Every structure is written in structure tokens, then in C-alpha cells.
Amino acid sequence: MANPTRRCAELGLVIALAVAVTVGTGGVAQAVESTAADLNNDSYRALQKLYRTNPVAASVARQAYGEGELRIGGRAASYYNSFSAS
């Protein structure tokens, strides 16, 4: 059984990244109009900022493996599995 604290931290990291990407691009409407390169750059910068300002997030990210979901507006928008990601 997975450690509940670690699972919560992993979920928190995913949520923080989702929020950072959405806020960093000016919201969902603009994100739809952004290019993939824009979104990649914005998410990379947001992730680096998260790591700089929260050492725990950086530590969890180095150890995080598993699966989860991206929630937008209270609904599951996408799913991930870090074992099959390339």
C-alpha cells in the first residue's frame, strides 16, 4: 500500500503544476490559443519556480512515481502514469 503522505505530496505537486501552467498562461482561454512551445516554456518556468521556493516539492519530484489525474474545474481533465511517460 502506498504511503498516504507521499501520495498526498505527489497529488499536491500535480495540482500545483496544473495551477501554475494555467495561471502562467493567463487562463484556460489563452492556453487554448498558445502554442505547444509556449505551454512547454511556461510550465518549465513554473516548475523551476516551484522547486526554488519549495524544497520539499523538488525532493518529492525526484522520488515521485505513480499515476494520477489532472483536475480542472472539479472534473478529471486528464490522467497520467509516470511509468509509461516518455
pLDDT tens digits, residue range 48-71?
999 999 988 888 887 777 788 888
43/1: higher pLDDT: 43
Which residues touch 24 (CB under 8 Å, ≥6 apart)?
A: 42, 43, 45, 46
Tell me what percent of the residues of the chain surpass a pLDDT of 90.
Answer: 9
- Strand, coil or helix: 70: strand
Is the confidence at residue 24, as pLDDT, over 60?
no
Backbone φ and ψ of 3, nearest 5°? -65, 120
Question: Do residues 3 and 50 touch, judged by C-beta distance below 8 A?
Answer: no
Measured CA distances, 8 to 5, 13, 42, 68 (Å): 5, 9, 24, 11
pLDDT tens digits, residue range 3-21?
666 665 666 666 666 666 5
